[in-house]
Amino acid sequence: MKKQIILTASLASVILIVGCSSNKLHQQSTNIQNKTIQQETKTDNRIQIADQAVTNIMKLNQIQQANVLVTNRNAYVAAMLHHGVELSRNLEDQIAAQVKAVDPAIQNVYVSTNPDFFGRINTYVQDVRQGKPVAGFFDEFSETIKRVFPSAR
């Protein structure tokens, strides 16, 4: 009988300790998840128009018109090339060099000559300059980037 009481008490202690440890681990896990969510929430959703980068890009003879948007450490260039000019790796590198010359913190430069992308970016830049509200633009911009630059993460 004494052995049963001691065994029961021991078993109850183990269950209590494991239960508390499990709860503590759950709380730690939840805290880690919350910190991750907070860090993700603090992601910079600002998109800046990079006028100086555009000025630099326009110095390239092949470029007819361009707009550059910067978010985090990525630059997205929407370019319209002169008639008969095609976007080559060399031209992309030249464009990237012009953008990075303005802001060395930029790690990635994505260039597109897609007319739809150019039109969307051009409209956004015009709306911002005219003081129009651009609420919800970041989500739309993110979706467009995923479609136009699928390897950009």
Lowest mean pLDDT among 37-46, 49-58, 92-101, 128-137: 37-46
Predicted local confidence at residue 36, as pLDDT = 37
Q: Do residues 119 and 100 touch, judged by C-beta distance below 8 A? A: no
- Looking at per-residue confidence, does 127 or 35 come out higher? 127
Alpha helices in 63-104 (DSSP H): 89-102
Q: What is the mean pLDDT of residues 61-75?
A: 94
CA 133/CA 130 separation, integer angstroms:
9
Q: Residue 125 contacts by C-beta under 8 Å, 6 or more apart in sequence?
A: 49, 67, 69
Residue carrying structure tokens 């550059």: 68
pLDDT band at 40 (very low <50, low <70, confident <90, very high): very low
Provide CB contacts within 8 A for 47, sequence distance 6+. 69, 70, 71, 137, 138, 141
What pLDDT shows up at residue 71? 87
Q: How far apart are CA 66 and CA 113, in angstroms?
A: 9
Taking residues 35-52, report their average pLDDT: 60
pLDDT above 90 covers a percentage of the chain that reads: 46
Task: Give residue 84's Cα distance to chain centre.
Answer: 33
Q: Is the pLDDT of residue 37 over 80?
A: no
Q: Tokens at residue 47, please? A: 């998109």
**pLDDT of the residue at 35:** 38
Which is higher by pLDDT, 22 or 89? Answer: 89
How many whole angstroms separate alpha carbon 85 and alpha carbon 134?
33
Average pLDDT over residues 48-55: 95
- Kindly report the pTM of this predicted structure: 0.66
